[in-house]
Amino acid sequence: MTTASESPVTITASDAENQPERTPELEALYRGFESELLIPLWTEIGDLMPPAPRSKASAHLWRWNTLLPMAERAGELVPVGRGGERRAIALANPGLAGRPFATPTLWAAIQYLNPGEDAPVHRHTQNAFRFVVEGEGVWTVVNGDPVAMRRGDFLPQAGWNWHGHHNNTDRPMAWIDGLDIPFQYFGESTFFEFGPDEVETREAPEKSRSERLWAHPGLRPLTHLTPAPATPLLAYRWEYTDRALSDQLALEAEGYPATAGPGHAAVRYTNPTTGGDVMPTIRTEFHRLARDTETAAVREVGSSVYQVFEGSGQVSVGDVSWTVERGDLFVVPSWQPLHLSTEHGLDLFRFSDTPIFERLDQHRVQEDPK
């Protein structure tokens, strides 16, 4: 039971336009509101209904050469096992109240597994993926299907599938995880279950069974003919991504429309059963900027996380700019303009929450005038 004096609600002066004068009568009314757990719109509207999105999140950059040593040190000090579940260290956006959230909807972490280690099996409603900027040697085992992880591979892991990881080699491996943890946390839709403490298999095949069923362009097995909410393909190999991007740039050079913009090749990872995004809440793409390429400044509803895969370049997000290198991760908050340029070429992996806004008819995108 809350009383007026200890109500969780406090109504304070607002800087919104045209506020009523704070007479004693009005103050008494506000105290009454507080005791009854009521808050007027007119004191809050400026924060709640801005002319355009004002993200609480900041544009921020995390350097790979800072992240990786920290993950290595965690590899020495922190065991991986049941309870903690994963040796994953998340980006905590400085604008998001000290929570491990890269953006209001997205989680991004570096995960690290020592030789011979297992990350135990569990499942959760959160949609997840892994992306490998360097290294190899870990297999993620999804519903018993071991999936090799290697540089440049994108490995989706849709919600409510059993999964664990094992490192079969004598070297450690690091990679990044992306999930919709913050979105499901705010939305309160998360379920979680423990599986076995060890992965079902330590087999380490070159190709997962999912690839043997699904990684054939334009073909689907007759055993799976209905649209699935998320992709059944568990590995999108670098070989194909790289070739698709090179082909786009070559077509552009031959005079055909193929690129997202001049010098800017880009592919979206898709669910082969629908042609849509790989997962209901997360979009993933790979962008390649050729030498001496610059993009227009674009703002979009929703947030993104980028990781530099190769090359270097200049990134500006709103008023902030960085020179980025391999492995660096940066965040683009909602409706902040992103501008990219590179002298020597830049390969970027991107993930975003755009499907949420598209499916709910809230998406907007806009190119800023130069």
Buried b (16+ CB within 10 A) or exposed e, 313-336: bebbbbeeebebeebbbbbbbbbb
Residues 26-65 that bind a copy of itself (CB under 8 A): 26, 29, 32-33, 36-42, 44-45, 48-57, 60, 62
CA 345 to chain CA centroid, nearest Å? 23
Task: Pick the closer one to a copy of itself by CB: 280 or 345.
Answer: 280
CA 205 to chain CA centroid, nearest Å? 28
Tell me the C-alpha distance between 305 and 349, whole Å: 8
Tell me the C-alpha distance between 335 and 337, whole Å: 6
Rg, the chain, Cα only = 23
Residues 83-122 that bind a copy of itself (CB under 8 A): 83-95, 97-100, 104-105, 109
Residues 198-217 that bind a copy of itself (CB under 8 A): 209, 212-217
Residues 260-319 that bind a copy of itself (CB under 8 A): 260, 266-275, 278, 280-281, 285, 301-303
Tell me the C-alpha distance between 191 and 355, whole Å: 21
Phi-psi map region of 137: left, alpha, beta (phi>0 left; psi -120 to 50 alpha): left
Task: Pick the closer one to a copy of itself by CB: 241 or 307.
Answer: 241
> CB of 222: closest distance to a copy of itself in angstroms?
4
Residues 225-264 as x/- pattern, contact with a copy of itself by CB under 8 A = x-x-xxx-x--x---xx-xx--xx-xx----xxxxx----
> CB of 93: closest distance to a copy of itself in angstroms?
7
> CB of 129: closest distance to a copy of itself in angstroms?
13
> CB of 311: closest distance to a copy of itself in angstroms?
19
CA 210 to chain CA centroid, nearest Å? 23
Q: Is 15 in the site for a copy of itself (CB under 8 A)?
A: no
Task: Pick the closer one to a copy of itself by CB: 125 or 169.
Answer: 125
CB 141 within 8 A of CB 134: no
Task: Pick the closer one to a copy of itself by CB: 258 or 345.
Answer: 258
